[in-house]
Amino acid sequence: MRQQIAAANWKMNLTLDQATRLLDEIVASPHHLQAHQKVILAVPFPYLALAKAKLSGKPNFFVAAQNCHTQSSGAFTGETSAEMLRSVGVEYVILGHSERREYFGESNAVLEEKVGMALTYGLTPVFCCGESLPVREAGTQNEYVENQLKESLFNLSEEQFLKLVIAYEPIWAIGTGKTASAAQAQEMHAHLRKVIAGRYGSGVADQIPVLYGGSVKGNNATELFSQPDVDGGLVGGASLVASDFEKIIEALK
């Protein structure tokens, strides 16, 4: 069975005291994860070492960074490299999040570099893709998201590609008042798997976890995760409340 993942993206939230309390609450909760189920916490850079320490000895729990640079070192003030992340024990890194694309102008070409760098240092990229409202309304979402994968990932070997996690973000359904249904999520996830199969074969496509990142909450996670091609969620706001995130973890199939 494919990996089933509940990934928390804290974004730029929480003070040190708040982060410590949330981690303590998560660690204190009983979890009965199966071998194919994982929880990933993508915390702000200042809290990476804290999260690693807090989650030590917690089976199937992992720490992720929210970004990395295209270079391993150099005169890039304010940036963090994949090599640095690996040196502090980080296992995963989110790349291509819609906010990074929109606010920081990250292109598919830049993300191709970042994915390669992450893999070079043994990090697992959680690669985000997804379309905006104008793209969805134009009915070209399939081609748009397909292009994101092709331009950033299809240079990878099969061995490298199998190390990825894909996260689909319907940007049009985040903070717009519009809602993506479970059926719409499944439709895009199935399309992504078809695109991957076209490049790497169905054997690879069937192994890649594809997460849903469109306002996953405790009250919709079970329906979303029950879809055959939805392998968990990349969770924003709901991951900042321990009780809400617990419900999402419990919804993993």
Catalytic center residues: 97, 169
Per-residue pLDDT tens over the stretch 16-52: 999 999 999 999 998 889 999 999 999 999 999 999 9
- The total number of structural domains in the chain stands at 1
- If you average pLDDT over residues 89-96, what whole number do you get? 98
Residue 31: predicted pLDDT:
87
Q: What is the mean pLDDT of the chain?
A: 96
Residue 24: predicted pLDDT:
97
What global pTM score does this model have?
0.97
**Burial tier of 69 (Cβ tally within 10 Å: 0-12, 13-18, 19+):** buried
pLDDT at residue 134 tops 90: yes
The CA-based angle 139-141-147, given to 5 degrees, is: 135
pLDDT at residue 189 tops 80: yes
Domain at 58, CATH number: 3.20.20.70
Cα separation, 123 vs 140, whole angstroms: 32
In which domain, by residue range, is 118 found? 4-250
Share of the chain above pLDDT 70, in %: 98
Which residues, including other chains, have CB under 8 Å from residue 213's CB and lie 6 or more apart?
A: 9, 128, 130, 167, 168, 169, 170, 233, 234, 235, 236
Residue 179: predicted pLDDT:
67
pLDDT band at 214 (very low <50, low <70, confident <90, very high): confident
Cα separation, 120 vs 56, whole angstroms: 24
pLDDT at residue 246 tops 90: yes
Residue 249: predicted pLDDT:
97
pLDDT at residue 177 tops 70: no
pLDDT at residue 206 tops 80: yes
- If you average pLDDT over residues 154-177, what whole number do you get? 92
Cα separation, 144 vs 38, whole angstroms: 29
